[in-house]
């Protein structure tokens, strides 16, 4: 009798645990950075990368490719008669918090496919973006992975926090790997969201906020961002846009060396740097000077440049001020559509696509005709003249 009661109790506990796991996943609650680490990322043996996307990780209805990029498995050699674009960057290129098909690389691929002229090459856009990467990690990711796929064009989705030498993802991975991994016999627990939620609620903390608001480890050691950094977390929480100006002032050498590393890696492959704005509440946009600085630095590295700010401003005037905004750093799905249209017209304007391969009038007659016209009219405005 006692054995039967024990078996029933164990079965009830297992059912309760399964139900809790399902509920946590459905509601999306829990420690998001820890879950991203467990499910999307893994430590990298490359010290410059530090971490990378986990091959085979769940990505909505899809999986991260076997090579570790957001997309389907494809051969490294481009198919004959194709034109391959490699998208590189951080979470804005990856498409954090939107479905794979809503990220700008996939939307750009769809636009190219829908507007290709008869006899044009078959366009491919591969998404090598990784959440949290800085400019040096982007350059290294291009060198060791994206360029293995022999792209005809590299497009770097540059975001205004890219000069950082720090990320929430990198810090979380280092912290979890060092302090929060379960014992080897229980490693399977790391895949359970209910376990991660319990660790977040009741487990030890490995960082805290100092009285001045900066992040420090439990022993008081500062978590360095860049010299005199006012704090990225505070910038995100309170929309302190001056952080991004200070970052580009203090970390200008990192930006320059990162662009130089990317130029060395790319060699003869052309690079288009697309400067994404951030999306603060205040108006007028306060960081035009920073965009000019980035555009100038990219030009010195030999890159093509497009500043997406004029296109986003025109789209906001046409569709609504916050229609394209996900959060301070990220567009939403519609915002990525804006970027995809702008990038297509920028690549055409700068001679980066095969001549005659795209029929843009088809875009201006389609479902997004107004957006296509905005991109065509505003993308040619030189970034450094704002």
pTM (two decimals): 0.80
pLDDT, tens digit, 9 for 90 and up, residues 121-145 = 999 999 999 999 999 999 999 999 9
> What CATH number was assigned to the domain covering residues 65-165+244-385?
3.40.50.1110
- 99-108: per-residue pLDDT in tens? 999 999 999 9
| pLDDT beneath 70, residues of the chain | 1, 24-39, 172, 174-193, 195-239, 380-386
- C-alpha separations of 219 from 163, 206, 215, 284, 297 in Å: 27, 9, 11, 42, 39
Contacts of 152 (CB under 8 A, 6+ apart): 78, 83, 84, 85, 269
pLDDT digits (tens, 9 = 90+) for 1-26: 577 777 787 788 788 878 877 776 66
- The string of DSSP codes covering 213-259 is S-EEETTS-B---STT---HHHHHHHT-THHHHHHHHHTHHHHHHHH
DSSP secondary structure string, 269-320?
S-EEEEE-----SSSS-S-HHHHHHHHHHHHHTT-EEEE-HHHHHHHHHHH-
pLDDT of residue 230: 42
The whole-number pLDDT of residue 99 equals 94
**Secondary structure, 3-state, 34-94:** HHHHHHHEEECCCCCCCEEECCCCEECCEECCCCCCECCCCCCCCCCCEEEEEEEECHHHH
Q: What are the sequence ranges of the domains in the chain?
A: 1-43+169-223, 65-165+244-385
Predicted local confidence at residue 13, as pLDDT: 79
pLDDT of residue 225: 40
pLDDT value at residue 386: 39
For 189, the token pair is 């627990």
Q: Check residue 242 and give its pLDDT.
A: 84
């Amino acid at each position: 009798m006692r054995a039967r009661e024990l078996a029933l109790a164990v079965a009830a506990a297992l059912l309760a645990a399964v139900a809790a796991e399902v509920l946590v996943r459905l509601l999306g609650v829990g420690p998001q950075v820890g879950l991203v680490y467990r499910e999307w990322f893994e430590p990298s043996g490359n010290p410059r990368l530090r971490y990378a996307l986990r091959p085979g990780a769940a990505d909505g209805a899809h999986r991260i490719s076997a090579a570790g990029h957001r997309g389907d498995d494809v051969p490294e050699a481009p198919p004959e008669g194709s034109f391959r674009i490699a998208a590189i960057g951080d979470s804005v290129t990856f498409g954090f918090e939107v479905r794979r098909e809503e990220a700008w690389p996939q939307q750009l691929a769809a636009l190219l496919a829908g507007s290709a002229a008869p006899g044009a090459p078959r366009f491919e856009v591969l998404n090598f973006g990784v959440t949290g990467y800085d400019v040096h990690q982007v350059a290294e990711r291009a060198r060791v992975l994206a360029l293995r796929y022999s792209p005809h064009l590299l497009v770097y989705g540059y975001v205004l926090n890219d000069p950082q030498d720090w990320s929430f993802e990198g810090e979380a991975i280092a912290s979890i790997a060092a302090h929060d991994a379960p014992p080897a016999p229980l490693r399977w627990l790391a895949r359970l969201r209910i376990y991660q939620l319990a660790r977040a609620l009741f487990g030890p903390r490995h960082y805290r906020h100092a009285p001045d608001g900066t992040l420090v480890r439990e022993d008081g050691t500062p978590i360095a961002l860049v010299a005199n950094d006012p704090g990225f977390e505070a910038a995100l929480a309170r929309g302190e846009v001056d952080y991004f100006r200070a970052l580009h002032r203090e970390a200008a050498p990192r930006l320059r060396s990162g662009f130089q590393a990317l130029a060395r890696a790319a060699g003869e492959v052309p690079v288009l740097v697309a400067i994404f704005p951030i999306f603060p509440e205040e108006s007028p946009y306060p960081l035009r000077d920073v965009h000019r600085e980035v555009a100038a630095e990219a030009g010195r590295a030999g890159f093509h440049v497009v500043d997406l700010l004029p296109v986003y401003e025109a789209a906001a005037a046409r569709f609504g001020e916050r229609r394209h905004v996900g959060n301070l750093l990220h567009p939403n799905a519609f915002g990525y559509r804006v970027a995809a249209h702008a990038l297509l017209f920028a690549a055409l304007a700068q001679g980066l696509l095969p001549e005659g391969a795209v029929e843009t009038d088809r875009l201006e007659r389609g479902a997004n005709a107004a957006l296509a016209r905005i991109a065509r009219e505003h993308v040619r405005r030189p970034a450094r003249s704002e």
